[in-house]
């Protein structure tokens, strides 16, 4: 009697596949944990020194205009000049621009630098400089009024 011979089946080693899958799952879980529980970096608050210096800064000729851009949305621009009436050069000045709805509830807050160290250098004592702040993400319901402009940060030149 003849015995049927079947070819020997080769076993596939799945261990490397399981190891790669485990590494991917661990990395995904770590990324989720980091994203979920990481604390956002809070912007710097005014130092006592900067709070005392705020009275030496002036905003002049502040105007707001809105233009339609090529995508069909509206670009709101606030322009003006900042004047350093104090005795220290400034490397950075940031404003908080607070937008309100018709019921005077805050609907959007954005922190924008109006003085940055550039090719012009720092803002020297007695000097004034123009600024432009563009906004293209103001939510619907904005009351169309000039936002509240609050000095949020000052960094002095060393």
pLDDT recorded at residue 25: 94
pLDDT recorded at residue 116: 85
Judge if pTM exceeds 0.85: no
Q: What mean pLDDT is predicted for residues 86-108?
A: 93
Domains, in order of start, for the chain: 48-156 (2.60.40)
Q: What mean pLDDT is predicted for residues 51-69?
A: 92
pLDDT recorded at residue 121: 81
Dist CA 133 CA 113 (whole Å): 8
C-alpha of 5 from chain center: 72
Q: Name the average pLDDT for the chain.
A: 87
Q: Outline where DSSP puts E strands in the chain.
A: 57-68, 74-84, 90-100, 106-115, 128-135, 148-156
Tokens of 27: 């990395």
């Amino acid at each position: 009697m003849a015995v049927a011979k079947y070819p020997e089946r080769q076993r596939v080693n799945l261990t490397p596949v399981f190891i790669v899958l485990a590494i991917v799952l661990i990395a995904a879980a770590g990324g989720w944990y980091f994203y979920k529980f990481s604390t956002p970096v809070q912007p710097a608050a005014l130092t006592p020194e900067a709070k005392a210096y705020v009275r030496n800064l002036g905003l002049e000729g502040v105007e707001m205009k809105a233009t339609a851009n090529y995508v069909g949305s509206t670009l709101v621009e606030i322009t003006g000049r900042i004047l350093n009436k104090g005795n220290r050069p400034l490397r950075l000045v940031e404003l908080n621009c607070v937008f309100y709805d018709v019921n005077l509830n805050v609907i959007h807050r954005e922190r924008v630098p109006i003085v940055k160290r550039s090719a012009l250098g720092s803002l020297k004592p007695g000097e004034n400089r123009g600024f432009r702040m563009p906004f293209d993400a103001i939510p619907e319901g904005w009351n169309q009024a000039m936002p509240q402009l609050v000095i949020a940060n000052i960094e002095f030149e060393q």
